[in-house]
């Protein structure tokens, strides 16, 4: 049986000359039947800003992409995550090794 315990790590990036500290939580969320039995598990990644004030007043965004496989990786490393892969000027992926930079648009 898979472990449903989340994995948590803390990080920081520079955005607009300021340091943004954030927490990343990943895990498998069990999807239960009406009888309470686990029928499936949904993998998730959550980025939350530390010291962001009242969390109940902050926006929540869900982002989905195809699959199976690594197709959703580009939502994290290409657009919406706090760090992104540096792409070539024409938008193509460079040859390895890939370089991560702070996402100034996060």
Dump pLDDT digits (tens) for 46-74.
999 998 888 888 888 888 877 666 677 88
Mean pLDDT over each residue of the chain, to the nearest integer? 88
With a cut of 90, say whether residue 86 has pLDDT above it. Answer: yes
Is-above-0.85 flag for pTM? no
The radius of gyration of the chain from alpha carbons, rounded to an integer in Å, stands at 17
Question: Which residues are registered as beta bridge partners of 44?
Answer: 27
DSSP label of 70: S
Close Cβ partners of 97 (under 8 Å, ≥ 6 residues apart): none
Q: What is the pLDDT of residue 33?
A: 97
Based on the number of CB atoms within 10 Å of its own CB, is 15 exposed (0-12), middle (13-18) or buried (19 or more)? middle
Q: Which residues of 31-47 are buried (b: 16+ CB within 10 A; e: fewer)?
A: eeeeeeeeeeeeeebee
Q: Region 88-93: what's the mean pLDDT?
A: 91
Residue 78 has a CB neighbour count (10 Å cut-off) of 14
Cα–Cα dist 94/81, whole Å:
19
């Amino acid at each position: 049986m898979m472990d449903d315990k989340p994995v948590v790590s803390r990080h920081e990036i520079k955005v607009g000359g300021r340091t943004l500290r954030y927490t990343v939580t990943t895990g498998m969320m069990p999807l239960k039947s009406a009888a309470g039995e686990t029928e499936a598990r949904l993998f998730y990644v959550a980025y939350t800003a530390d010291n962001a004030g009242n969390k109940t007043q902050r926006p929540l965004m869900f982002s989905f992409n195809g699959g199976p496989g690594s197709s959703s990786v580009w939502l994290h490393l290409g657009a919406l995550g706090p760090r992104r892969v540096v792409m070539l000027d024409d938008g193509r992926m460079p040859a390895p090794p890939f370089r991560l930079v702070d996402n100034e648009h996060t």
